[in-house]
Amino acid sequence: MWTKKDLQKLIKDKMGDYLFIVVSNRQPYVHVLKKGQVVCQRGAGGVITALDPVMQACNGIWVAFGSGEADRQASDSEGKIMVPPDSPSYTLKRVWLSKEEENGYYYGYSNEALWPLCHMAFQRPTFRTNDWQYYKTVNEKFAKAIIKEVGKKRAFIWIQDYHLCLLPKMLKEMAPKQLVVAHFWHIPWPNYETFRICPQKKEILEGLLANDLLGFHIRYHCDNFIDIIDREIESKIDRERFAIVRSKRETLIRPYPISVDFEGISEIANSAQVRDASKALEEEYGLSRYKVLLGLDRIDYTKGIPERLLAVDRLLEKHPELKEKIVFLQMGEISRIHIPKYKALNDEINALVEQINWKHSTEGWKPVILVRRHLSFHELLAFYRLGDICIVSSLHDGMNLVAKEFISSRSDEGGMLVLSQFTGAARELIESITINPYDRDQFSQGILEAIKLPDKERIRRMRKMRKVVQQNNIFRWAGKILSELLKFEFKE
């Protein structure tokens, strides 16, 4: 089993002479103003959950967009700061974007074009030429920031996700002999019929083929990518080795199912701080008398939150005896609210919560609690510990780390996971109760099954799922990718 020490040893022994840089749009730590004071918050999202413990193990540089209102105040003149705040172990370098750049590159092309293109959630992508120009501009801005850090050194660059498709090619053109570049794609990769509608498909594919190593969550996404290359780009494909050669450059395509820091989460979840947070949250939301059903997501149309609410509604329709015995707590930070589809989703969720509570509530009890505020990591784990059932109902998901965080936090072997069959995690966590979020009756039946599951069976399932996540932890994921990366040689 890979551990943090194993990863540290690999990096020290094999990568000690080189610079190691991780690049992502979202930053691991954000500085905000609270009551006039600069406060550091841990960033939200799966990329942060996965990579922060890896970076703490390897003392590298993380390059990301500085999006916090107090980020400039907290950073030095080069946009740098050591993180995490309580135990500084690596450098965060922030890239500054104008509002126009953020709007076009992030809200526009990344999240109105690429995000819906890659998720089968029946949302039509919007391609605007202006957004694409900003996307190219920001990718170039990232490239220049990275090259400035590299200087004359040799470096391993590890790029994250769909915001930076063009970056690999730009980096290789700027420093062709100094870099080995890997890219991990955190969301699904679509099939050919879907991807071919993209007006900028050639530039995106050429950007990604500049990587030495390109990783996806599951083999199906690798197959989709290779199939698209076969149809769209002149190249030599070695299907046995999962390798693509174009212009004398080889790119390896690999599946790497991402995970979480199982041991770290288990340890923190058992801490006095989390126990205190659990008591405070239980009291704040009046949860002590009920079986608690949890939904913990960023507000996004791929997460199946309306479907989840409607399944709870159907459950109470068919089983009114559960009234005043259960409560469904949906935690979700609002995200990308500037995009009309997200604003409409937020309005839909608010309306559904109001409708379901009006329909089913009794004196002193309502079935749904909607929590909007930012949660610290300790509060997040406290909610996991309070939950009898964690519901993950994604309509389409590359992996889903909420499911793995929940399992890692439950060293008491309590709770049960209700998991969408359309997540990558469903392939690993086969002891969960699997549901189809589009089938309201089957979904509600899955929740009922979790509620009624005998203790002995629940413990058996949780033990098996915990063992899977423990063995396939974040350090194994990172170790496998970095081990593959180390096989590449710098060009002379």
pLDDT digits (tens, 9 = 90+) for 351-383: 999 999 999 999 999 999 999 888 888 999 999
Q: Which CA distances in Å does 186 have to 52, 233, 255?
A: 15, 23, 11
Among 85-89, 193-197, 206-210, the range scoring the smallest mean pLDDT is 85-89
Q: What is the mean pLDDT of the chain?
A: 94
Q: Counting beta carbons within 10 angstroms of the beta carbon of residue 59, is it exposed (0 to 12), middle (13 to 18) or buried (19 or more)?
A: middle
Q: Which CA distances in Å does 42 have to 64, 201, 226, 399, 419?
A: 14, 34, 36, 21, 26
Three-state SS for the chain is: CCCHHHHHHHHHHHHCCCEEEEECCCCCEEEEEECCEEEEEECCCHHHHHHHHHHHHHCCEEEEECCCCCHHHHCCCCCEEEECCCCCCEEEEEECCCHHHHHHHHHHHHHHHHHHHHCCCCCCCCCCHHHHHHHHHHHHHHHHHHHHHHCCCCEEEEEECHHHCCHHHHHHHHCCCCEEEEEECCCCCCCHHHHCCCCCHHHHHHHHCCCCEEEECCHHHHHHHHHHHHHHCCCEEECCCCEEEECCEEEEEEECCCCCCHHHHHHHHCCHHHHHHHHHHHHHCCCCCCEEEEEECCCCCCCCHHHHHHHHHHHHHHCHHHCCCEEEEEECCCCCCCCHHHHHHHHHHHHHHHHHHHHHCECCECCEEEECCCCCHHHHHHHHHHCCEEEECCCCECCCHHHHHHHHHCCCCCCEEEEECCEHHHHCCCCCEEECCCCHHHHHHHHHHHHHCCHHHHHHHHHHHHHHHHHCCHHHHHHHHHHHHCCCCCCC
Number of Cβ atoms within 10 Å of the Cβ of 376: 12
State the Cα–Cα distance between residues 299 and 333, nearest whole angstrom: 6
Tokens, residue 396: 């389409």
Average pLDDT over residues 177-204: 97
| Nearest alpha carbon to residue 50 among 214, 273, 217, 163 | 217
Q: What pLDDT is recorded for position 471?
A: 96
Number of Cβ atoms within 10 Å of the Cβ of 145: 19
pTM across the whole model: 0.94
Q: How confident is the model at residue 231 (pLDDT cuts 50, 70, 90)?
A: very high
Q: How confident is the model at residue 492 (pLDDT cuts 50, 70, 90)?
A: low
Indicate the CATH number of 263-470 among 3.40.50.300, 3.40.50.2000, 3.90.580.10, 3.30.470.20. Answer: 3.40.50.2000
The answer to whether domain 4-259+475-485 has CATH 3.40.50.2000 is yes
The predicted-structure confidence for 387-398, as pLDDT tens digits, reads as follows: 999 999 999 999
CA dihedral of residues 297, 303, 307, 309 (deg, nearest 10): 10
* Phi, psi at 407, each rounded to 5°: -65, -40
Q: What pLDDT is recorded for position 426?
A: 97
Q: What pLDDT is recorded for position 56?
A: 87
**38 close to 85: Cβ distance less than 8 angstroms:** no
Tokens, residue 364: 């002193």
The predicted-structure confidence for 58-81, as pLDDT tens digits, reads as follows: 889 999 999 999 999 999 999 999
The predicted-structure confidence for 293-320, as pLDDT tens digits, reads as follows: 999 988 899 999 999 999 999 999 999 9
Average pLDDT over residues 198-207: 98
The predicted-structure confidence for 7-38, as pLDDT tens digits, reads as follows: 888 888 888 889 999 999 999 999 999 988 99
**436 close to 450: Cβ distance less than 8 angstroms:** no
Q: In the beta sheet, which residues pair with residue 157?
A: 21, 181
Q: Label the pairing between strands 326-331 and 291-296.
A: parallel
Tell me the residue type at 256.
Answer: Y
Equal CATH topology for 4-259+475-485 and 263-470: yes
Q: How many CA atoms lie within 13 A of 225 on its CB side?
A: 29
Query: So where are the chain's domains?
Result: 4-259+475-485, 263-470
